[in-house]
Structure 1
Amino acid sequence: MIKYVPEMTSVVMEEIPDKVTLAVDISNCTGLCEGCHSPFLRKDVGEELTPEAVDSMLSDNFGVNCFLFLGEGNDPEALMKITAYIRKVYPALTLAIYSGRESVEDEIFASFDYVKVGPFRPSCGPLNHRTTNQRLYKVSHKKSAAGSAAADEKSYELEDITYRFWRSSSLSL
């Protein structure tokens, strides 16, 4: 079961470039990031993220064009199931996930349009620091002529867009 914290769900514009994003905090985090800003999300808190909950959130937040999972929880099968539901029912919606892991399985990249990897490390800084260890990838999904990826190749390509969070150190007026 995937659980989220309804009180923390919000519309944001800075997490995924060029997207109006519904950011949904997922609990049961398995990460142990030093300096974690939400350590209570390691606990089993919140409510189940069901298709009905997704429908309600999206109807209450007209205009969002991205659904962001802030974390993966501890049930990969349930994560993939709710992701498949969103992809099927809301095909125009961009799907994104922030994982705190160093790397993720191909299934994650194949299921999402944006994937952030890397645990937060205070010494490296967050995504908007050039020294960050975290990376945000834009995922381009490939299709063969028959409509599905060829069996011997990955069904996606990755573009590291972390640089889009970096600001110039000086402003010119």
Structure 2
Amino acid sequence: MLHYINTDIVFQEFPDEVTLAINVSGCPCHCPGCHSQFLWADRGHDLTTEALSALIHEAKDTITCVGFMGGDGDPAEVDRLAEHVRQNHEGLKVGWYTGRTAISPLIDQQRFDYIKVGPYLRHLGALDSPRTNQRMYRRCPDGSFEDITSRFWKHQVGTNL
């Protein structure tokens, strides 16, 4: 079972979305320079479908997306929770941030509207850097995924980047 430490309403994790970000604990990645080391230990509240629905209900008038921030220790459970959102909370989009370098074969990608992959590597920067190793994918209407990473890059005034 997955656990979560806290939640927040965020505006930048997934483009054009107001996201209920759920910080999932028990991260096995332990990326050097991680800004969320508090998520390494497997602790917090049980992330059951009932708890997930309660969190969504509390924020339902504000959010357009549910984002699972982590869950790399049990991607099949993240997939199950994404399916729950799809089946029980019509109209909400679903995003997942995994610190792994590849999308787990244990998930059905069609349950997600956004998938961000890649560990944070300080020397390469985060999504806002053209040097980043991280990638943000958005599901297209035909079910394929497009890489929209460059949308996050900070553009310098006076350049054509």
Q: Distance in 2 between matches of 1:15 and 1:108?
A: 21
Q: Distance in 1 between matches of 2:41 and 2:33?
A: 16
How many residues are matched?
157
Match of 1:27 in 2: 25
Match of 1:88 in 2: 87
> Which is worse superposed, 69-78 or 39-48?
69-78
**Are the equivalent residues in 1 in contact too, given 2:72–2:99 (CA < 8 A)?**
no
Match of 2:35 in 1: 37
Match of 1:132 in 2: 132
Task: Report the structure number with the largest CA radius of gyration.
Answer: 1
Provide Cα deviations, 1:83-105, integer angstroms capped at 9, x if missing partner.
21111001311000000011013
Partner SS state of residue 20, structure 2: strand
Match of 2:62 in 1: 63
Residue 53, structure 1, aligned to residue 40, structure 2: no
Instruction: Supply the AA of the counterpart residue of 2:111.
Output: S
By how many angstroms is 1:167 displaced?
Answer: 2.4
Unaligned runs of 5+ in 1: 143-155
Q: Distance in 2 between matches of 1:34 and 1:23?
A: 22
Q: Distance in 2 between matches of 1:160 and 1:67?
A: 20
**Are the equivalent residues in 1 in contact too, given 2:112–2:139 (CA < 8 A)?**
yes
Q: Distance in 2 between matches of 1:135 and 1:108?
A: 18
By how many angstroms is 1:76 displaced?
Answer: 2.8
By how many angstroms is 1:116 displaced?
Answer: 0.5
After TM superposition, the score normalised by the length of structure 2 is 0.90
- With over 3 angstroms needed to count, the CA separation of the structure-2 counterparts of 1:73 and 1:103, relative to structure 1, is closer
Seq. identity, %? 37
By how many angstroms is 1:166 displaced?
Answer: 1.5
Q: Distance in 2 between matches of 1:37 and 1:108?
A: 28
The counterpart of 2:12, out of the listed 1, 11, 14, is 14
Unaligned runs of 5+ in 2: none
Match of 2:156 in 1: 169
Instruction: Supply the AA of the counterpart residue of 2:77.
Output: A
After TM superposition, the score normalised by the length of structure 1 is 0.84
Q: How does 1:85-164 map onto structure 2 within 5 Å?
A: 85-106=84-105, 107-140=107-140, 142=142, 156-164=143-151
By how many angstroms is 1:163 displaced?
Answer: 1.3
Q: Aligned-residue CA RMSD in angstroms? A: 1.7
By how many angstroms is 1:125 displaced?
Answer: 0.2
Q: Distance in 2 between matches of 1:100 and 1:165?
A: 18
